[in-house]
Structure 1
């Protein structure tokens, strides 16, 4: 049986390059991975997250046409877009239609695991945004300044590494935070959630709340919660651990 393909979805302000260390580790173990660029990051800003959803769905659908099994890995913001993009692409739905391949597992890395109808912020507002998120309503963008990169994303990395990573941060589209989820893939696809305990304390608390709330909300397939002593981006600070963990979780579903 062929190994699954990992689809890696980056979070806000980041680009696919944030996955480079993990991609290398997965390749060493013989696993293919794809990290699409999500249009809500960068310029010009997008009015909502529909272009992200289209890219995610198109990337996964292209792999399913090749009858591949897929594991979707979401970081931070992309938990919302990833979770809403996979309606009908889960393995069970495809098998019911006599189709091969499908999404066999979701892995949320301190990501938004949210139900249908979730909106991060009401349209036209910056509600629920931390002070480090610098908003420009006229430009339609939200930015994180280099001096806040370590506390926001890279708590367990040295300052020189953080400085290099901060240079790659991009503006994120305001409209993406105003979009609303229409699907909760974790109700239908086996799901792993990774909490990084060295992340911002508020983020750790929020992540646990999201998992608990999801489990209490109704049907779900959240079957594993993993805690790791790492900052917000373990795929950068602990790529070997992250690769090993993703492969182990994927093996449960293939």
Structure 2
């Protein structure tokens, strides 16, 4: 039984931010374990994802068209990093009611957490990166896709179309090509029960706004460098290679040695919220 808490010792609220193609639904297996600790836990959607996602007109309507998959323009206004940061900050303010909130960001959502922590460090009690992008100051996220540590990434070869033209990082989730879908499953969920992984793939949005991944964030000691941070390394990740994750940590600690990163490891794929939710929840609860 969890020990009841008083208002004076109640943990800070925890916001869970999912990464590309995912939505707040992806935390459903983790939430019961976190709720048992007595804290307020709120999963939210990243801008352009979940309830904010927009699908190409050809997706899910009639015969699958590979040409349309490669060329269709993602609908709606283009979502930028600033848009995503503004939404996250508004979510933090609503959940925290003016007090700081702990935030866990998965995968590319780490870029948005970093931007908000730099712009409004007083709003973040603790920043937790779950196998997430945590670039060095001013470095474009794309840089980390080209370095030697990124070799073996299984996700990037699955992108369809030219993001500069379509406006999206696109997965072909409407295909009947079982080899392609198996590759998506292997890249994101290789250690997840097959039925659960297939259910997750069915919930993914095919388009993630490419604008969220463009541009770096200049980091300062008074901004992002002042926020307590943790990193959860997923050692079996095939979508964000473990060596890249370790590089993020090393660069952050070199830049801000007075505020080192607390590190935990999970022997997990890119999606421990589905493959080992109890273990993930335990690590999170120890941080916030």
TM-score category (smaller protein):
0.7 to 0.9
Given candidates 99, 113, 133, the residue that maps to 1:112 is 133
- Cα pair distance change 1:214/1:6, threshold 3 Å: same
8 A Cα contact 2:252 2:261, kept in partner: no
Aligned pairs for 1:115-130 (under 5 A) are 115-121=136-142, 130=156
Determine the C-alpha separation between the residues in 1 that align with 2:131 and 2:258: 18
Change (3 A) 1:50 1:202: closer
Supply the distance in 2 between the matched residues of 1:86 and 1:7 (Cα, whole angstroms).
13
Structure 2 residues without counterparts, runs of 5 or longer:
1-8, 55-74, 148-154, 173-180
Q: Deviations over 1:80-121 (max 9, x none)?
A: 111111236435xxxxxxxxxx52211111101123323223
CA root-mean-square deviation: 2.5
Q: Which residue number corresponds to residue 42 of structure 2?
A: 34
Distance in 2, Cα, partners of 1:179 & 1:40? 17
With normalisation by structure 2, the TM-score equals: 0.74
Counterparts of 1:123-142 in structure 2, within 5 Å, are 130-137=156-163, 138-142=165-169
Which residue in the other structure is 2:59 paired with? none
User: 3-state SS of the aligned residue for 2:84?
Assistant: helix
Look up the SS of the partner of 2:90 in the other structure: helix
Q: Select which of 23, 48, 51 maps to 1:15.
A: 23
Displaced runs of 4 or more, over 6 A: 126-129
Q: Is the 8 A contact 1:106 1:186 kept in 2?
A: no
User: Is residue 2:72 matched to residue 1:72?
Assistant: no
Distance in 1 (CA, whole Å) between partners of 2:239 and 2:104 is: 23
CA distance in 2, matches of 1:218, 1:29: 31
Does the CA contact (< 8 Å) of 2:111 and 2:213 recur in 1? no
Checking the alignment, whether the CA contact within 8 Å between 1:57 and 1:86 is kept in structure 2 is no
Q: Distance in 2 between matches of 1:156 and 1:240?
A: 15
Contact conserved, 1:196 with 1:227, CA < 8 A, in 2?
Answer: yes
In the TM superposition, what whole-angstrom CA distance separates every residue of 1:175-233 from its partner, at most 9, and x where no partner exists?
Answer: 22223324466511111111111112861111111111221234562331111111111
**Partner-residue secondary structure (3-state), 1:60:** helix
Match of 2:200 in 1: 165
Instruction: Give 2:252's match in structure 1, choosing from 209, 214, 224.
Output: 214
